[in-house]
Structure 1
Amino acid sequence: MRALSDDEIRESFVNATRLELEQLELPIEHLLLEWDRVDALTWRDRRFRNRGYLVTIVGDRPVGLVLRAASGGGSRFRAAICNFCHTQQPADQVTMFTVRRPGDAGERGDTVGTYLCADLSCQENVRLHAPLAPAEVRKLTEDMRVAGLRRRTLAFVEGVLQPA
């Protein structure tokens, strides 16, 4: 991913309300980010607990989405798999996130949802050398895991952008 300025990040959000954009606080980590080692910038909002953000490049332009985490958590005694990084984790560390579609569809309440790592750490998880879960077997190389994450992230973002 190419480096993005603060303004590019803020202007990339296609489904944010005016209030959400005013409240948007960029993560301090983006100042130190090795942009060539990530395919998406993701973070949870520190002030608004159920809000998260995803910014990635689609085509040649940055596209940002405001994510809403479902309230309540999964059982810590079961396992769940993130749909982006395919990492197996305790169920309370994977959360359903919904994304309001941009434009009229989103204003009518149309959303798209998926299960993601609760802390949105998918970029880091695919780059770990050892599996997070004892039962998880990593047969794929890091490059293959990163490519899969990129492919699934883009497919999700493009699905959100499609007319309902």
Structure 2
Amino acid sequence: MHPLTEKQIRASFVNASRREATQATLPELAALDWDRLDYLGWVDRKAPLLAYAVVPGTAPDDDAPTGVLLRATDPALRTRRSGVCAWCEDVVHTDDVSLYVARRAGAAGRRGNTVGTLLCTEFLCSRNVRRRPTLAETGRDDADLRAAVIERRIQGLRERSARFVAEVLRTA
């Protein structure tokens, strides 16, 4: 993922008001390892039931990021839960997944339409897809197979996060 500025991030939100985008508490951008991120996701330190995900453009000629404001549906759901994240689909790290809901963009969102998904509570998907594959995932201990599995996971994460953003943008 290309490094983003605060201004780019705040301008990217498609389902947040200007006020909500301005009040978002951003992560420390200089401390991020942008080369190992497939999307930028974080929980708001000041409002822990709010979270944000910024997904890079998916078209080859489109680097414009798209950001979505997410909400945990209920304080009780912010506790650690076992499940599989819909974006990274990691089957090893399943102990910290939360249900997040995003208001749809535009008129649909103003009418109260939302879309939800299970995600890693702390948005560790990029780390999870890069973990060393288990022997069960590769069939044998082979560096080329491991690299292929990791690349497939990364592509899957990018596709699923982009699909979620497309669903937030969908007007119907």
What TM-score do you get using the length of structure 2 for normalisation? 0.82
Counterpart CA distance in 2 for 1:151 and 1:53 is 18
* Structure 1 consecutive aligned stretches of length 4 or more whose deviation exceeds 2 Å: 32-37, 73-76, 136-140
Q: What value does the CA root-mean-square deviation take over the aligned residues? A: 2.2
Give the match for residue 85 of structure 1: 88
Give the match for residue 154 of structure 2: 146
What TM-score do you get using the length of structure 1 for normalisation? 0.85
Unaligned runs of 5+ in 1: none
Aligned identity (percent) is 40
Give the match for residue 14 of structure 2: 14
| Aligned positions, number | 156
The letter of the residue matching 2:152 is M
Q: Which has the larger radius of gyration?
A: 2
SS in 1 for 2:9: helix
SS in 2 for 1:80: coil
The answer to whether 1:46 aligns with 2:45 is yes
Q: Using a 3 Å threshold, how does the CA distance of structure 1 residues 137 and 66 change in structure 2: closer, same or farther? A: farther
Unaligned runs of 5+ in 2: 139-147
The answer to whether 1:114 aligns with 2:122 is no
Q: Using a 3 Å threshold, how does the CA distance of structure 1 residues 146 and 67 change in structure 2: closer, same or farther? A: same
